[in-house]
Structure 1
């Protein structure tokens, strides 16, 4: 047996990078000893059903019952969690303001699903027309309807704060918090929660809306609901139409009555980035224009600077730090480095396990001179079809599955996950049909392609499946990802940090989320086995290059091109018209129904899948089969989905 020195050293180096990165990230999170960070949960009641709200609390080191400090309730957006609000938690606490970041219904570790928000009867833009469809669709179509609206409008909405009201009460109860100086902030979905919480607690001192919808006073009793010192952080390239007042572009909205009159309290058009009114009487208003998109607004430096200015003035805090003095992004970069190192650790660990007699049969060499490869012309044809089909179906099938696909909603509870599996399953079926035709009747039959050529069989028996090898590949995939899961659990316990970059990627499961992992795993396994396995490394495999490193890079780049080319196409369709001033491409070409979540999610999807394809490429090259790589990335993708996204 070969000595395992190099893989063992590489594995230990990866783990060392994880530990050191998380250690330094934890130091940043605590402001290098000036912030106390803790996690926990408190009870809440939604529609009479008991549940718990998980939180992360950032407290200035000197705060106690004898030295109470002001505080801010921080609420995340759709498909995020309390850790996504870390930038606000860190920067507020550095300025002497406690921050309570919570998981809203259906997100993170909150025990209650999004359904406990309730839903209205019609959209605000068309109140005379009833909304119909699955319950998750009704919630998403009536997010804009809030529980303090007039009864004729808000009927059916239970708690549009999504737990925010209970969180505000909890924040008030903490003995180190000055209950007379509390602010509220939220991003996206969290802005509706912010409005709802503010309406319930008129004593709040400030609200910061991170990409929020503005409310017409026609919908609620303006005399009974006062909102104090409201700042709107407006992303110029916001993919969601309701955060652009249902207009194509943000520029020009400062001249509409909804903006200058109803929100800003002025009699004529206003200017961006200028404060109107007074903090003293709660009339301060400001619209800050951010040169960013919807998702990135939570960590935009301009946004954080303006928010710090707003809260310190509204809460009467005089920090020694400048509003623009930030350290939050250091923590994000370090957590990203830890995540990449944890993913990389699986590769040398795979080599170590492969040297054990039990797992040794998983690995076989590639005899490239004898493999049957598709001609360059055939590769180009299949690649073009794959890119066009995946790109042109992404907006439609994603949104169809997201809201309207008639699946059992108590089983398929991951709202955006339903959109992904609808799209990916369609792509898998198209690829499977094309592969079977190619293999049995087309060019594959003509050139004599075997299962071994497709990465499915053995050299000794090229036309048979080896079920023992398949079973051992599945087992090893769970072992390798299971060790990574243990690693993230250790980091959460020791450092109070999981593996992410801004948005949730790899985090520990709750019991309900673990169940959802197994619900969605078969769909991802089928997709990665067929599309990112048999087709990519079998039918369309490139010849090897002059060195292993060049082969890895060439095959990886090719994988990204084939598998993500369609999504890149949609990126161009969406953002080029937006940057040119015409508005988001999906809204212009397909209507706003196909914009929003599946446009903004591309910023997560592309880098996530690019990393996955690097892993699957490497694992195919090392094992000579598609199984281990396909199963590992399927587990990782299902983990990302079930661990961090919204549950109905």
Structure 2
């Protein structure tokens, strides 16, 4: 039996490593266009005093005698530079020099200081000045583009460029954030961008932007009505009061401004705000705009896109990473120091009686309802609303992680209460043993299990760093990403780890020690049910949010769009955690190993994909 266990697990361990390798190779080949584009990670001091981390993509043939147009890209708030990979892959293979940055406070760039969000366009204008120093860049053809707050960074960069001795920014493409329409003092429409070419992607179902407001601040138009609003029409009229026939989306309007022919265009696809960086339509809009404004050195048709292939390979890495967590854990159980943690055979499972099923389903239902209600309550808890977005440094340097961690801890405590009540009123009376159920494994096995979990987490992220070092790639799919990170993030992770430990350990104990039995004679059905209930509340909240949005054009009152967006990666992670914790428990009869592993991974992934503030 031991040899069978070893052979079977060896297959999964090898498969996980193969998937990670294939992911790295495939993503690297795709983003380098088969070697036609060099991809380099770099860190440089910004002119404003901070340090910026970036990816630089240089197409073959770009040199001092064959200068190329250049584009600086910026991600949205609570993201990092690889979130722009759909754009930088396609722009670079068409011959543009591309720099995708970690804005200040994000990724590996310098932290954001409170009240200093706009410094150097959050780093974008520092990047513009840096890319202009490259000998193979045509400084008369530099564009900038960003998604969400990356677009806001572009807006902040304009007055800095206006004030410079030599203006560097020729083109601006804003994705999912409003352009500047009016003078802040007078309220009158203005041409904020001067003679620059400017385009906007205004999603018809954007959760945050492209609304018009009355004097009380109440929204009076939805994003779907944007193109007909005075704001949009004034933008398309180069800051003039809109008059005459209504200007349309997807049409390039030109005007002579200060002796130069300038462009304005609004693209208006029927999609949501977070879908922008993962949208073929958005990439098409970006390529079309910069071709019109700067000219495309390598004119590949805009519909010919390969970035989706990179996303596929990146996603393989996520799968490989998840399998590795399980397979390497089980592999360590065959090593002498941890062999005592492995059990020979999983406990024999029986079908619960009607009363047992009532407790099972009742506890799941109550927990799911509490999860959803507590999430809504916290999202509307005014005293902490500012903390959620910018934190409260130095105690809370990352607001978004604090919100998810606090919600997790509250649900972990509630799960403990449910388990105590269940044990006292049902389990204890029906012969449940805390030791035999794995809740009391003994201190030696508990701490040995934590040590095993720590080794697994370090090894898993070690793979991420090797991949990042050798291939300049990582593991990600849309909003779920496992990037490399600096040692500073370890200290931040330790600050938040206790919050996540409360939930994931409680969740593992609930799944394995209290709720493990056969349904219709199959344990996997029980596991599947638990995975579904792990994600049920977040899934219902997301579905409800976007159903209301699709029907009414507005979000659920009191449920801000960012809170539903934050649930996207949580849903994937909670479902995965249920399966991995069950399989590790089957091999160890110890729920704390998986709880520690999943809490650690969730914490590190959270703190490396968000915004960090300092005093």
Q: Structures share a fold, TM > 0.5?
A: yes
**CA, structure 1 residues 504+578, in 2 after alignment: closer, same or farther (shift >3 Å)?**
closer
- Please state how far the C-alpha of 1:492 moved relative to its aligned partner: 0.5
Cα separation, 1, equivalents of 2:339 and 2:459: 19
The alpha-carbon deviation at position 643 of structure 1 amounts to 1.8
- Please state whether the residue corresponding to 1:85 is helix, strand or coil: helix
Question: 1:107 aligns to what SS in structure 2?
Answer: coil
In 2, Cα distance between the equivalents of 1:379 and 1:244? 49
> C-alpha distance in 2, partners of 1:224/1:563?
48
In 2, the alpha carbon distance for the partners of 1:407 and 1:39 equals 29
Which residues of 2 match residues 233-382 of structure 1 at below 5 A?
Answer: 233-241=201-209, 246=219, 249-265=222-238, 266-267=242-243, 268-278=245-255, 281-317=260-296, 319-364=298-343, 365-369=345-349, 375-382=356-363
Match of 2:135 in 1: 175
Q: Secondary structure at the match of 2:485?
A: coil
Match of 1:610 in 2: 575
Q: Render the CA deviation track for 1:367-409: whole Å, top value 9, x for unaligned.
A: 3358988711122221221111111221331464563479852
Change (3 A) 1:487 1:621: same
SS at match of 1:608: helix
Paired residues, number: 587
Instruction: Select 2:400's aligned residue among 416, 419, 429.
Output: 416
**TM-superposed deviation, 1:342:** 2.4
CA distance in 2, matches of 1:614, 1:244: 46
Query: Is 1:443 matched up with 2:426?
Result: yes
Whether the 8 Å contact between 1:105 and 1:113 is mirrored in structure 2 is yes
Classify the secondary structure of the residue corresponding to 1:292. Answer: coil
Question: Hey, what does 1:574 align to over in structure 2?
Answer: 545
* Unmatched tracts of structure 1, length 5 or more: 119-157, 458-464
Residue in structure 2 matching 1:498, options 464, 474, 495: 474
Deviations 1:546-589 (A, max 9, x none): 5xxx533x233212222111111111220112222x03442xx3
TM-superposed CA distance for 1:23, in Å, is: 0.8
Moved more, 246-255 or 84-93: 246-255
**1:527 alignment partner in structure 2:** 503
Q: CA deviation at 1:160?
A: 6.5
Structure 2 residue 370 is the aligned partner of structure 1 residue 392:
no
Change (3 A) 1:243 1:299: farther
Computed over aligned residues only, the root mean square deviation of the Cα atoms, in angstroms, reads 2.5
> 1:528·1:630 contact (CA, 8 Å) conserved in 2?
yes
What TM-score, normalized to structure 2?
Answer: 0.89
By how many angstroms is 1:247 displaced? 5.3
Q: Deviation of residue 40 (structure 1)?
A: 0.6
Q: Is the 8 A contact 1:514 1:643 kept in 2?
A: no
TM-score for both structures, normalised by structure 1: 0.85
Note the C-alpha offset of 1:90. Answer: 1.2
- 1:452 aligns to what SS in structure 2? coil
CA-CA distance at 1:310 after TM superposition: 0.6
| CA 6–388 in structure 1, closer or farther in 2 if over 3 Å, else same | closer
Q: Conserved in 1, the CA contact under 8 Å of 2:177 and 2:209?
A: no
CA distance in 2, matches of 1:339, 1:57: 24
Provide the rounded CA distance (Å) in 2 between the counterparts of 1:252 and 1:518.
46
Distance in 1, Cα, partners of 2:192 & 2:368:
54
Q: Distance in 1 between matches of 2:70 and 2:129?
A: 12
Name whichever of 477-486 and 342-351 sits farther off. Answer: 342-351
How far apart are 1:220 and its partner, in Å? 6.7
Is the contact made by 1:567 and 1:602 (CA closer than 8 Å) also made in structure 2? Answer: yes
1:494-521 CA deviation, whole Å, 9 max, x = no partner?
0001111234622222122111111111
- Corresponding residue for 1:620? 585
Match of 2:515 in 1: 540
Q: Tell me, yes or no, if the aligned pair for 1:354 and 1:360 is still in contact at 8 Å.
A: yes
Q: Is the 8 A contact 2:46 2:126 kept in 1?
A: yes
Q: In structure 2, do the counterparts of structure 1 residues 114 and 453 end up closer, same or farther at CA, with 3 Å as the change threshold?
A: farther
Say whether the 8 Å CA contact 1:165–1:197 is kept in structure 2.
yes
In the TM superposition, what are the counterparts of 1:181-260 in structure 2 within 5 Å?
Answer: 181-202=141-162, 203=167, 204-219=169-184, 222=190, 226=194, 228-241=196-209, 246=219, 249-260=222-233
Match of 1:583 in 2: 553
Contact 1:239 1:599 in 2 (8 A): no
- Residue 448 to residue 643, structure 1, CA distance change in 2 (3 Å): same
- The 8 Å contact of residues 508 and 578 in structure 2, kept in 1 or not, is answered as no
Aligned residue number for residue 38 of structure 1: 40
Stretch moving more, 447-456 or 105-114: 447-456
1:510 aligns with 2:486: yes
Greater Cα offset, 218-227 or 599-608? 218-227
1:244 & 1:534 partners in 2: Cα distance? Answer: 50
Q: Which residue of 2 aligns with 1:433?
A: 417
Contact kept in structure 1, 2:56 and 2:97, CA below 8 Å: yes
In the alignment, structure 1 residue 551 sits paired with structure 2 residue 530? no
Q: Give the whole-Å Cα distance in 2 for the aligned partners of 1:369 and 1:44.
A: 61
Q: Which residue of 1 aligns with 2:216?
A: none
- Counterpart check, 1:596 vs 2:561: yes
CA displacement at 1:16 relative to structure 2: 1.9
- Which shifted more, 496-505 or 17-26? 496-505
CA–CA distance in structure 2, aligned partners of residues 321 and 504 of structure 1? 30
Distance 1:574 1:212 in 2: 20
